A = this chain, B = another copy of it.
Amino acid sequence: MKIGELSKKSGCSIQTIRFYEKQDLFEACNRSEGNYRIYDASSLRALRFIKQCRSLDLTIIEIKQLLDTKNNPDKSCSSVNNLIHQHMVDVTHRIAELEELKLTLSEMASACTDNRKVKECGVLQLLEE
């Protein structure tokens, strides 16, 4: 299949597929006589793996590490588990930050609920502090 079909089946844009290839995340495939990329079912599986990882917000470098690990089936998988665990810690931390931000924004919003003039705006006054 050509890149357009792979794009539709995988849900990744054509540019993204080419970008992953350039990043050495996605193996360079065979080419047709006219230099078109030709993929098969295993390309689709590989791309879906990458997409799954990206949906977990793993970075491209981390996905490379995972792919590298996958190529050593007899080694320990602890690095994989650690990666996921560390991500959970990071996400938890980020949620806490955003909750705090939300609180600040909500306090800010309640400082000016009615429609005032700019010079009397409660939000702007808070921002000046």
Contacts and interface: CB of A to CB of B under 8 A. Distances in A.
A9 interface: no
Interface in A65-118: 66, 69-70, 72-78, 80-81, 84-85, 87-88, 91-92, 94-95, 98-99, 101-102, 104-106, 108-109, 112-113, 115-118
A123 interface: yes
Contacts of A92: 102
Interface string A118-129: 111101100111
A14 interface: no
A49 interface: yes
Contacts of A102: 88, 91-92, 95
